[in-house]
Amino acid sequence: MLILRLISRGFCRLSTNIRSTELAQNEPRLLKVAIIGMPNAGKSTLINQLIESEVCPVSKRVHTTRQSQKVVYLRQNTQVVFIDTPGVVNKKEVKKFQFSDDFVTGPRAAIENADIIGVIHDISNRILRHKLDPRVVKVLNQFTNRDAILILNKVDTVKAKRSLLDAVRYLTKSTVGGEPIAMTHNKRPKQLKMEDILARAEARKSNLFTGSQEYSGKEDYRNIDENESDVEINGWAGFNDVFMISALTGDGVDLLKNYFVTNAKMAAWEFSEEILTDCPPMELALKILKSKLLEYLPEEIPYTVVPSLDFWDEDSDKLRVVFGVKCQNERFVKIVIGQGGHNINQITLQVEKSFTRIFQKVIDLHIKVTVAEKEKKYGGSERQTDKTIA
- Decide: 279 and 68 in contact? Cβ < 8 Å: no
- Per-residue pLDDT band for 335 (boundaries 50, 70, 90) equals very high
pLDDT of 203: 58
Residue 78 has a CB neighbour count (10 Å cut-off) of 21
Cα-based angle 131, 133, 134 (whole degrees, multiple of 5): 115
* C-alpha distances out from residue 259 to 48, 54, 199, 264, 297, Å: 17, 21, 9, 9, 38
Considering the chain, what is the average pLDDT of its residues?
Answer: 77
Instruction: Pick the closest to residue 73 from 115, 23, 32 (CA basis).
Output: 32
Least confidently predicted of 26-35, 79-88, 115-124, 170-179? 79-88
> In the predicted model, is pLDDT for residue 30 greater than 80?
yes
- Per-residue pLDDT band for 29 (boundaries 50, 70, 90) equals very high
Q: Would you call 255 exposed, middle or buried from its count of C-beta atoms within 10 A (0-12, 13-18, 19+)?
A: middle
What's the rounded Cα separation, in Å, for the pair 172 and 243? 12
Q: What tens digit of pLDDT does each residue of 242-264 get?
A: 999 999 999 999 999 999 999 99
Q: What tens digit of pLDDT does each residue of 187-216 get?
A: 444 555 555 655 665 555 555 544 444 444
- Per-residue pLDDT band for 20 (boundaries 50, 70, 90) equals very low
Max Cα distance, the chain (Å): 81
The distance of Cα 230 from the centroid of its chain, to the nearest Å, equals: 28
> In the predicted model, is pLDDT for residue 3 greater than 80?
no
Cβ-proximal residues to 185 (8 Å cutoff; 6+ apart), any chain: none
Type of residue numbered 154: K
* C-alpha distances out from residue 217 to 65, 103, 109, 214, 221, Å: 18, 10, 7, 10, 6
Task: Give the 3-state DSSP-derived string for the chain, with helices as H, strands as E and coil as C.
Answer: CCCEECCCCCCCCCHHHCCCCCHHHCCCEEEEEEEEECCCCCHHHHHHHHHCCCCCCCCCCCCCCCCCEEEEEEECCEEEEEEECCCCCCHHHHHHHCCCHHHHHHHHHHHHCCCEEEEEEECCCCCCCCCCCHHHHHHHHHCCCCEEEEEEECHHHCCCHHHHHHHHHHHCCCEECCEECCECCCCCECCCCHHHHHHHHHHHHHHCCCCCCCCCHHHHHHCCCCCHHHCCCCCCCCCCEEEECCCCCCCCHHHHHHHHHHHCEECCCCCCCCEEECCCHHHHHHHHHHHHHHHHCCCCHHHHCEEEEEEEEECCCEEEEEEEEEECCHHHHHHHHCHHHHHHHHHHHHHHHHHHHHHCCEEEEEEEEEEEEEEECHHHCEEEEEEECC
- Per-residue pLDDT band for 90 (boundaries 50, 70, 90) equals low
> In the predicted model, is pLDDT for residue 269 greater than 90?
yes
> In the predicted model, is pLDDT for residue 224 greater than 50?
no
More reliable by pLDDT, 54 or 64: 54
pLDDT of 267: 94
What's the rounded Cα separation, in Å, for the pair 234 and 385? 52
pLDDT of 106: 64
What's the rounded Cα separation, in Å, for the pair 178 and 204? 12
Q: HSE (CB half, 13 Å, CA atoms) of 72?
A: 27
Q: HSE (CB half, 13 Å, CA atoms) of 195?
A: 0
Type of residue numbered 372: A
- Per-residue pLDDT band for 31 (boundaries 50, 70, 90) equals very high
Q: What tens digit of pLDDT does each residue of 273-312 get?
A: 988 888 889 999 998 999 899 888 887 888 889 999 999 9
Mean pLDDT of 151-176: 90
Instruction: Pick the closest to residue 265 from 208, 212, 213, 211 (CA basis).
Output: 208
Q: HSE (CB half, 13 Å, CA atoms) of 81?
A: 24
What's the rounded Cα separation, in Å, for the pair 68 and 85? 4
Report the DSSP beta bridge partners of residue 150.
119, 242
Cβ-proximal residues to 134 (8 Å cutoff; 6+ apart), any chain: 228, 229, 231, 233
pLDDT of 84: 85
> In the predicted model, is pLDDT for residue 186 greater than 90?
no
